Amino acid sequence: GAGVSQSPSNKVTEKGKDVELRCDPISGHTALYWYRQSLGQGLEFLIYFQGNSAPDKSGLPSDRFSAERTGGSVSTLTIQRTQQEDSAVYLCASSLYTGAITDTQYFGPGTRLTVL
């Protein structure tokens, strides 16, 4: 079956431009997560969606970052007025969220964002 897909795989933009990154989770997965992985750094949690609940935005680094999840499926992460420090790989993950403590997150391939 299809895994988590993300698009685009690479995005180069100029400082100050807005970008939108897309994530298609595994069908039937109710939980969706966005992470950021900067060069040489670990993964950083950004935002979490679970069903119809209000998203957990506690990891968003600034108000230039926002995310939506329409229809409980596809999600878009938007970065406004991009800065060079936004350059990173943005990873999306989804899970069934069965409530089990061993619920597994499945990761997409990521979008590599480069801000010039």
Site residues (CB under 8 A) for other proteins?
A: 4, 31, 33, 35, 41-45, 48, 50, 56, 91, 93, 95, 97, 101-110
Provide the minimum distance between the beta carbon of 65 and other proteins in the complex, in angstroms, as a whole number. 17
Q: Which is nearer to other proteins, 35 or 65 (CB)?
A: 35
Provide the minimum distance between the beta carbon of 115 and other proteins in the complex, in angstroms, as a whole number. 19
3-state SS, one letter per residue, for 55-113: CECCCCCCCCEEEEEHHHCCEEEEECCCCHHHCEEEEEEEECCCCCCCCCCEECCCEEE
> Hey, how many other C-beta atoms are within 10 angstroms of the C-beta on 47?
21
Q: Which is nearer to other proteins, 67 or 91 (CB)?
A: 91
Q: Which is nearer to other proteins, 42 or 71 (CB)?
A: 42
Quick one: tokens of 11? 């995005």
Q: Which is nearer to other proteins, 64 or 112 (CB)?
A: 112
